[in-house]
């Protein structure tokens, strides 16, 4: 059973989105280059039972934490990224993409000894059809940023955060957005009264001093060593445990086609069904979109439930796009106009 949010609630959400251009958000992030190579199926190789593709197109777009940054920019937020790229072609393309969106890059450090994290997806298809991903190749640095780079990251993030309405930490495990770096940024009153949101792939529970987190269900299962499945009570218990251990103001657990559940402190959890169709086109980067929209909404003064509703709209829009994509402020406003926010009752 679902219940619709009152009309004044929808107007409130609209005002929050319209406020986004007045916000500044610092993003401490593992920056990733998402590379897409498109090939048209030519024939099956005689050397091995594999497809031979004729190269048709190639593009590199911001991925990982860089995708969260791009999403914030497209939502109209003034965004200040902090991270590391290599002195290589993927790194240069990421910097070029940021400059194209007029995103400042003074906090993005270019290092010759570091290789930009690059995830190459090979897509195959016939003429006039959408490509299907057939293989992914990840290129990762052998080690994280060195001590000098870590110091530069801390100093830049601390300086930017003091002038920001929120700090978003996007941790993909590559060393530029670690728990120890966040602790160092917090020193010397570096994060006084600045809300901190977290999207961490594998070590969510190692972070402290975080305001809100947005894991997906499988990340919660990994963190707690459990299996949730379709067990609503187990999901509630897991959310309460995560929120309690991390001392969060709010927690959002995303559940793919089942939407998301938000756990606001001192309030009942709210179960939000997915916005739009559950026949998704591509989930690549959807978590980055969710944490970006959620962070922007919290920075604008939204409650955890309001922020989750807006993040749900954004996530529902982006999964209908192919590849690593973003949601614009206008798309979010149009979605609000077309469909009222709803919640499931239990």
Which residues are identified as catalytic? 288
**Contact present, 116 and 91 (Cβ < 8 Å):** yes
Return d(Cα 119, Cα 31) in angstroms, integer.
11
Residue 308's contacts (CB-CB under 8 Å, 6 or more residues apart) are: 250, 252, 260, 262, 270, 272, 294
Q: Three-state DSSP class for 123?
A: strand
Torsion from C-alpha of 161, 164, 165, 166, nearest 10 degrees: -30
Q: Three-state DSSP class for 102?
A: coil
Return d(Cα 64, Cα 201) in angstroms, integer.
10
DSSP letter string over 37-90?
Answer: EEEEEEEE-SSSS-EEEEEEEEEEEEEEHHHHHHHHHHTT-EEEEEEEEESSHH
Q: Three-state DSSP class for 290?
A: helix
- Helices (H), strands (E): how many in the chain? 10, 15
Q: What CA–CA distances, in Å, run from 109 to 26, 106, 150, 155, 343?
A: 15, 7, 10, 12, 43
Q: Which residue has the tokens 């990733």?
A: 32
**Contact present, 295 and 168 (Cβ < 8 Å):** yes
């Amino acid at each position: 059973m679902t219940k619709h949010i009152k009309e004044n609630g929808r107007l409130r959400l609209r005002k929050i989105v319209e406020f986004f251009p007045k916000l500044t958000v610092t993003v401490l992030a593992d920056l990733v280059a998402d590379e897409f190579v498109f090939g048209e199926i030519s024939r099956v190789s005689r050397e091995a039972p594999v497809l031979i593709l004729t190269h048709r197109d190639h593009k590199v777009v911001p991925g990982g934490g860089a995708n969260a940054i791009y999403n914030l920019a497209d939502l109209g937020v003034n965004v200040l990224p902090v991270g590391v790229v290599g002195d290589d072609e993927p790194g240069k393309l990421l910097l070029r993409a940021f400059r194209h969106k007029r995103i400042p890059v003074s906090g993005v450090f270019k290092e010759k000894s570091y290789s930009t994290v690059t995830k190459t997806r090979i897509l195959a298809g016939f003429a006039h059809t959408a490509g299907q991903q057939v293989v992914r190749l990840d290129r990762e640095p052998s080690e994280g940023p060195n001590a000098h780079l870590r110091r530069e990251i801390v100093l830049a993030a601390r300086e930017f955060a003091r002038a920001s309405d929120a700090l978003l930490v996007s941790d993909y495990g590559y060393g530029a957005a670690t728990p120890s770096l966040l602790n160092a940024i917090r020193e010397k009153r570096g994060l006084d009264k600045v809300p901190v949101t977290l999207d961490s792939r594998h070590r969510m529970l190692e972070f402290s001093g975080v305001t809100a987190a947005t894991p997906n269900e499988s990340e919660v299962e990994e963190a707690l060593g459990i299996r949730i499945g379709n067990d609503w009570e187990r999901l509630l218990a897991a959310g309460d445990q995560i929120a309690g251990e991390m001392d969060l103001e709010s927690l959002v657990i995303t559940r793919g086609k089942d939407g998301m559940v938000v756990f606001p402190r001192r309030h009942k959890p709210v179960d939000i069904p997915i916005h739009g169709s559950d026949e998704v086109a591509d989930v690549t980067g959807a978590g980055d979109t969710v944490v970006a929209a959620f962070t922007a909404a919290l920075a604008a003064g939204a409650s955890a439930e309001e922020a989750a509703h807006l993040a749900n709209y954004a996530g529902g829009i982006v999964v209908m796009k192919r590849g690593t994509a973003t949601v614009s402020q206008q798309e979010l406003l149009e979605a609000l106009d077309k469909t009222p926010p709803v919640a499931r009752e239990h």
